[in-house]
Every structure is written in C-alpha cells, then in structure tokens.
Amino acid sequence: MKLGLFNELINTTKENNFVQNFIKELSNYLENCDRKVDNQMKNETQKTNLREENVLYQVVDRGVNGIYLQNTKNNKIFEETNIPKELQDALGNDFILRYKNGEYVFEEQLTDDFFNSLVSIKEYEEIKNKFIEETNILDINSDAKFNIAFREEDYSILQYGIEKNDIIKVPNVLIPYFINSDTILKYEDGKFKKVFK
C-alpha cells in the first residue's frame, strides 16, 4: 500500500512538472508574439512619422518589401511598403513622389525637371571650377550659412551675411535640387549642402 501511494505521488509530480513546463513554454511563446507585434507596430509608427503631408520624396532604390524613399526635406531614407503595386512597378530611381491625403502621388513634371537639371560629371566639375575662379567663395568664412535670396532657372543668389553685399551668385547645378526659401546651406568640401536643424 505504501508503494502504491509512493507511485501515485511520483505520477502526480510528473504531471505537475509537465503542466508547469507547458505553462512556461506557452508564456514564453506569447511573450515572443507580443514582442513581434510591438516591434511591427513600432516600425509602422516610425514609417508613419516619416511620412509628411505634402512633402516630396525621391525614389532611392527598390527593396525586398517596397521602395526606399528619401524625404527631400530632411534627407531621411526609409523603406516604404505602403505603395500600390502598380505605382511601384512604374517607378525608377530618382522619380519624385508627393505624399498627399494619405497616399503617394507620382510627380511627373517635377521628375522631368529633375532629370533635365542633371549634368555629366565632367560638366559639373567645369561649372564648379569656373564658379570658384570667378567668385570669392573660398574667402567666405567656412561657418557661413547661406539662404536663398533669389532663384532663377539657371542660378540662385545666396545671402550669407548681414551686409547688403554679402551675396553670391551660384549656378543651380551646384546647389541641392530640393530646396526652398527656408533651406539653409553651407559650403563644405567644394559643395553646397543642406543644414539640418
């Protein structure tokens, strides 16, 4: 009789261990599922935060799940998976999209204008060297910040100081394409670059 009680006690303990192990594994599985859902939600929230109404985005590359876009306002790059398949198939590198009313819209005219503004590397170097020779850009303080005072089709007038004559005429080829009157530039390593706040 004592042996039967002992065997029953052992069997109960084994069952209890099995149940405890099962509960532990189930808890771990559920925690992992929660983490995955949390990570997916964080990723989607981050992408949503990268989408700004009425901002232009330039196609940088194709990804496994979507299209890599660069925000032309802050230069942040992210993979966008929320673009209809038909639009994705029609896009190429450097195409321009606008995020409007919760969706991306292809900006055909802006894309054409961008491609028409591109020059060859050789021509770019010639324009840059001529600009350096004809201006005082190298004499200007390297910490100077440039604002757009006036913009034409081929050139822009940049203001960099408080004096009326603290301006410089710059070929648009040497300035980042996506800028507006609020954009602040600096001249560094032979190029004008956006300054991000």
- Residues 46, 74, single domain; the answer is no
CATH of the domain at 79: 2.40.50
Question: Phi-psi region for residue 78, left (φ > 0), alpha (ψ -120 to 50) or beta?
Answer: beta
- Residues 46, 61, single domain; the answer is no
Spatial separation of the C-alpha atoms in residues 127 and 107, rounded to whole Å: 28
Instruction: Give the domain range for residue 24.
Output: 1-50
- Residues 107, 129, single domain; the answer is no
44-97 residue pLDDT tens? 545 556 789 999 999 999 888 899 999 998 889 999 998 998 999 899 999 999
- Residues 155, 178, single domain; the answer is yes
How buried is residue 67: exposed, middle or buried, by Cβ count under 10 Å (0-12/13-18/19+)?
A: buried
Q: Total domain count for the chain?
A: 3
158 forms beta bridges with 148, 168
Q: Which of 10, 28, 50 is the last residue before a domain boundary?
A: 50
- Residues 107, 138, single domain; the answer is no
Angle at CA of residue 30, ends 26 and 31, nearest 5°: 115
Kind and range of the H or E run holding 125? helix 121-134
DSSP single-letter state for residue 98: E
138-164 residue pLDDT tens? 888 888 999 988 888 889 999 988 787
- Residues 85, 128, single domain; the answer is no
- Residues 72, 32, single domain; the answer is no
2-12 residue pLDDT tens? 556 556 656 66
